[in-house]
């Protein structure tokens, strides 16, 4: 943490320019060196300058020296530095919604909420509450610690429309952790309801250090109890969906690719590598699905053969060879994650894909209600109750004016949410167009294996370096090429292809079939002739030549020579 503070100290430790204003004005506006940027405080929540000084004295002498200088500046300006605190930026709330099974038991959802609160070690809101208080349609409880719970039920003509709660839990660092959820009945169909969650970290005093909230445990509890509904073609769970190698699941994978498999949640698609494995271990995949239950689906391919079948049916638009992808409803894949310059290890991929999924779901358009929307519907519902106390014309005029203002505000809010959702998706999708060879040149031509484009660019850069001096190439271009050669790694897809060809050319009796099977996975289709198999490149694989493989072992002059010839035809023998 201290290292992060040191790296960021230039953001809030700037020099003070001479100021000729009266001291009173200077006191009203602290100098730049005392105007902090939020989000830098440590977990001990020491937002004041004194707190930061104590933190610095225990962490780094340079920080203490800087603090001393800042105190001198404050004293010269006649400012009581103890009154200045670090303002915190607004944190992005956690938000999600998903379909749930319908329970006719009116008390089912409130019971889950109360069980969640009773399991919270710091909660005291239910400790002295009698049962009848929890059975009202409008519950409002306040504990001595300031903890609050509101539960409200909305009924129309005797039918329950929605039930929701808002829970505020203060801490000792000037913050309130607010969790809201509303179960809206009949928002999807007659068989399912929709539940929307929203969690925020709110500042209750100036300078409180805010944190991004995590997924509430209540979501895990609901999914564990079997509340998850059907989201398009996929059940809402906190465990992975392991696809099977059959036509039905290939069709499901095509729907995922086209953005038609789900309506509510993004899908994290995990493609298979050689040996029916994945980039992540089985435990890592299950942990990812557990962490993202109710936020995103995790779908896992069974094997590489499944990838090849999917590739053939979708014209190569799928993610494959261990790559992970995020598919959005109605959009399909917007981002891919694979080992390379951007993600040097699996941990970086898992962390980024988890953050991307949470961010995307938080900004998706909502069908369910949050707590504020439910309150609005409750107020509208009270219009009927007030008709008896006002004349009908006066009540209509009052509520029509209220509804008009409310509808205008809701329309503006809806438009802003849609704009923010579009921006969030665009930002995350734009990260895929990273200034690396994988991002810039993706889609230029169909690859015969994952990472082919990067490998060929490395070859081109290395070749260019050998003639750079004789052709008078400028130093900047040379530096760029050297960077490509040094930093762009050789792809694992090339090594896998070379290993497959070596295995396929070991047995003379099986060579023809084995080589054909390998090449059919890498851009070729076969045409059998009398004594040979003629392999021709598929559409879109420009630059590849036909390959002829003898059927009978007697015509094989050398398995090694045959393999080398195939490598030369594919243009992979000279790739560095």
Q: In this structure, is the dihedral angle defined by the CA atoms of residues 232, 237, 240 and 242, taken in order, positive or negative? A: negative
- pLDDT single digits (tens) 192-238: 999 999 999 988 888 888 888 889 999 999 999 999 999 999 999 99
| Residue 398 in domain | yes
Regarding whether 412 and 483 lie in a shared domain, the answer is no
- pLDDT top residue among 504 and 557: 504
- pLDDT top residue among 124 and 21: 124
Regarding whether 397 and 363 lie in a shared domain, the answer is yes
- Can you tell me the mean pLDDT for 514-522? 83
Could you tell me the CATH number of the domain that includes residue 251? 3.40.30.10
Q: Which residues pair with 176 in a beta bridge?
A: 170, 202
| Number of residues written out for the chain | 576
- pLDDT single digits (tens) 305-329: 898 889 888 877 888 888 899 999 9
pLDDT at 450: 76
Regarding whether 220 and 308 lie in a shared domain, the answer is no
| Residue 449 in domain | yes
Q: Which residues pair with 96 in a beta bridge?
A: 197
| Residue 487 in domain | yes
Regarding whether 140 and 14 lie in a shared domain, the answer is no
Secondary structure letter of residue 228 according to DSSP:
B
The proportion of the chain whose per-residue pLDDT surpasses 70, expressed as a percent, equals 69
- Can you tell me the mean pLDDT for 39-68? 39
Regarding whether 211 and 271 lie in a shared domain, the answer is no
Whether the pLDDT of residue 301 is over 50: the answer is yes
d(CA 252, CA 245): 11
| Residue 89 in domain | no
Regarding whether 147 and 59 lie in a shared domain, the answer is no
CA distances (Å), origin 567, targets 98, 111, 182, 517: 50, 66, 60, 15
Write out the residue range of the structural domain in which residue 272 sits.
Answer: 233-433
Could you tell me the CATH number of the domain that includes residue 150? 3.30.530
How many domains, in total, are found in the chain? Answer: 4
pLDDT at 412: 55
- Cα 47 to chain centroid distance, Å, stands at 30
- pLDDT single digits (tens) 467-484: 999 999 999 999 999 998
| Residue 115 in domain | yes
Contact 398/390 with Cβ under 8 angstroms?
yes
Q: Which of 433, 455, 484 is the last residue of a domain?
A: 433
- Structure pTM? 0.64
How sure is the predictor about 493, in pLDDT bands with cuts at 50, 70 and 90? confident
| Residue 88 in domain | no
d(CA 362, CA 357): 8
Which of 200, 224, 259, 253 has the alpha carbon at shortest distance from 100?
A: 224
How sure is the predictor about 245, in pLDDT bands with cuts at 50, 70 and 90? very high
Regarding whether 470 and 451 lie in a shared domain, the answer is yes
Regarding whether 311 and 429 lie in a shared domain, the answer is yes
Regarding whether 103 and 73 lie in a shared domain, the answer is no
Regarding whether 544 and 476 lie in a shared domain, the answer is yes
Regarding whether 261 and 388 lie in a shared domain, the answer is yes
Least confident of 243-247, 286-290, 412-416: 412-416
Arithmetic mean of pLDDT over the chain: 76
- pLDDT single digits (tens) 150-165: 999 888 877 888 999 9
Regarding whether 441 and 428 lie in a shared domain, the answer is no
pLDDT at 188: 65
Which of 78, 51, 80 has the alpha carbon at shortest distance from 67?
A: 51
pLDDT at 246: 93
| Residue 248 in domain | yes
């Amino acid at each position: 943490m201290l290292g992060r503070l040191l790296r960021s100290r230039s953001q809030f430790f700037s020099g003070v320019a001479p100021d000729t204003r009266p001291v009173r004005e200077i006191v009203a506006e602290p100098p730049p060196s005392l105007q902090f940027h939020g989000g830098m405080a440590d977990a001990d929540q020491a937002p004041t300058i004194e707190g930061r000084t104590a933190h610095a004295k225990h962490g780094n002498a340079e920080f203490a020296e800087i603090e001393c200088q800042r105190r001198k500046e404050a004293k010269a300006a006649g400012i009581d530095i103890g009154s200045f605190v670090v303002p915190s930026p607004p944190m992005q709330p956690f938000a999600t919604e998903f379909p749930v099974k319908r329970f006719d038991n009116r008390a089912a959802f409130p019971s889950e909420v109360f069980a969640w609160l009773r399991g919270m070690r710091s909660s005291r809101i239910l400790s002295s509450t009698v049962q009848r208080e929890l059975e009202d349609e409008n519950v409002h409880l306040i504990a001595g610690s300031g903890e609050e719970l509101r539960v409200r039920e909305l009924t129309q003509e005797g039918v329950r429309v929605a039930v929701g709660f808002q829970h505020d839990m203060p801490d000792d660092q000037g913050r309130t952790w607010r969790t809201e959820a509303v179960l809206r009945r009949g928002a999807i169909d007659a068989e399912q309801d929709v539940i929307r969650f929203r969690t925020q970290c709110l500042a209750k005093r100036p300078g409180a250090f805010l944190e991004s909230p995590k997924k509430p445990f209540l979501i895990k509890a609901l999914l564990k109890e079997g509340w998850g509904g059907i989201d398009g073609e996929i059940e809402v769970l906190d465990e992975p969906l392991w696809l099977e190698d059959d036509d039905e699941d290939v069709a499901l994978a095509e729907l995922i690719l086209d953005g038609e498999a789900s309506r509510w949640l993004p899908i994290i698609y995990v493609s298979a590598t050689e040996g029916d494995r994945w980039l992540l271990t089985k435990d890592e995949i299950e942990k990812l699905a557990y962490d993202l239950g109710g936020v995103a689906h995790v779908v896992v391919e069974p094997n590489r053969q499944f990838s090849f079948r999917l590739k053939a049916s979708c014209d190569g638009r799928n993610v494959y060879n261990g790559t992970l992808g995020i598919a959005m409803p109605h959009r399909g894949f917007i981002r891919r994650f694979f080992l390379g310059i951007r993600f040097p290890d699996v941990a970086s991929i898992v962390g980024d894909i988890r953050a991307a999924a949470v961010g995307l779901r938080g900004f998706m358009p909502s069908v369910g209600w949050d707590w504020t929307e439910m309150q609005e519907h409750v107020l509208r519902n009270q219009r009927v109750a007030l008709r008896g106390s006002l004349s009908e014309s006066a009540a209509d005029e009052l509520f029509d004016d209220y509804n008009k203002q409310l509808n205008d505000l809701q329309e503006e809010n809806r438009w802003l949410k849609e704009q923010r959702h579009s921006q969030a998706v665009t930002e995350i999708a734009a990260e895929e167009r990273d200034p690396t060879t994988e991002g810039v040149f993706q889609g230029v031509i169909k690859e015969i294996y994952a990472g082919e484009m990067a490998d060929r660019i490395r070859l081109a850069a290395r070749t260019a370096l050998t003639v750079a001096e004789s052709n008078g190439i400028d130093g900047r271009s040379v530096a760029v090429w050297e960077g490509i050669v040094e930093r762009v790694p050789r792809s694992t897809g090339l090594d896998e292809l070379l290993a497959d060809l070596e295995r396929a050319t070991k047995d003379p009796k099986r060579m023809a079939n084995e080589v054909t099977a390998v090449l059919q996975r890498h851009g070729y289709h076969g045409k059998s002739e009398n004594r040979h198999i003629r392999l021709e490149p598929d559409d879109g694989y420009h630059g590849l030549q036909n390959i002829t493989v003898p059927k009978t072992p007697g015509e094989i002059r050398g398995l090694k020579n045959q393999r080398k010839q195939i490598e030369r035809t594919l243009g992979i023998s000279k790739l560095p």
